[in-house]
Structure 1
Amino acid sequence: MSGFAVRSSLESPSELARTAVLALGAQSALALVYLVVTDAGLAAPRTLAISFIWVTAAVVGVHHADRPDSGRAVLALAGLVGVGYGLVLGWLTGSIGASSGAAMGLDVVLLPPWWGPMVRYDGTVLSLFVFPYQAFGYAALAYLVSLAVRDVAAYGTSAGVGGLIALGSCASCALPVVAAVASALGGAGLGLGTAPAAGDTYLLATGAYVISVGVLTVRPTLG
């Protein structure tokens, strides 16, 4: 009778908690430096918590995820899949898009820590709209997806179940961000020193993101 199994090499909850605490400490120190050397301000606690949760989940997931042994060909394929996945997420959320052609150039907005410095760029081909915490989080997801691809090569197709579950979770983590980013760009937009609103869309995206990281870190298999 088949069922779900998880990585037996995953560390204990205390080890995961230790990594999370260290990550929060490092983020707090970097945020303090950022506030001292720039004119950025703070935001509501809920707004700050969203960015800290994303970065902390990313650090814990990447640090504790199991890394199967893989040959160069598998590493190359897994890397390509991971990068492609990250680019698709960026496109879905509006972080990467086609050039609008309206205001060419680079703009850096000093939003609160981990929301800023937010980078906006509009070139001849592509445009970018990047919050640091989202860029960090999507990079972590891309890496974890590449590990799921290596699982399939090492353990067979049953090892890809966790990746499929997480891909579904990430669709739900990306779509709320689309609405939130569209809202932030509408009306007056994001001006220098303003803080983005942390509405229900960002909270939903954060919950789905944490689930996705958790599944991709544990990566359950059928067996």
Structure 2
Amino acid sequence: MIDLDVWADVRCPWCWIGLRRLRRAASVLGEPLHVRRRSFLLEPDGPVSPGQTTATVATSEWGLSSAQWESTSRRLRTEGRREGLDLAVDGALMFDSRPVHRLLKLAAVTDHIDAEAAWDATFAAHFIRNERLGDVGVLRAMAAGWGLRAEEIDGALAGGAFSEEVAHDLREAQRLSVESVPTVVAPDGRRVSGAAPVEDLVRFMAAAGAVR
């Protein structure tokens, strides 16, 4: 068993790419992969421009020129295709991912839910279909598709349930100086970027004692 903690945000395309690479690295080692998904917020105070496309925000708020963003977007799309992902990153909409993290925490402790599939489904909604994940109705429909019950979904979206679990992950990220995602942490404390090449992830897992 490969046992890892991974800090990630569903708004981060590299986090989805990294998830695919972690799975491939585990396959190379011939071991099952167990990932504890830890919440991270790219914008802890919420997005400055909710509902705007990533391409628009990149050139209006992040200080990138159109050419610089196109280069970044092209690289993300190329790396995504290598992992079987057809990313529509330009049209991905800004949203506060905190409610989604609460839903994902709920999925992780619900026996009949595949939490990894829920993360994949969220990434796909954001980066392939460019759904409005800042819309409560969209979130309800998405979480229902995972198999969660309506009352559970509403409890998590209301902000009480699983808020502390998300906050705990954010405090742990600060304590460990996790400043970018995806960040992978092994049982011995060593870490690596989850966006690293598969070969590097294989070496990391083997050397850091992640295989038990």
- TM-score scaled by length of structure 1: 0.24
Q: Indicate the structure with greater helix content.
A: 1
- TM-score scaled by length of structure 2: 0.25
- Greater RCO (CA < 8 Å, at least 6 residues apart): 2
Larger radius of gyration: 1
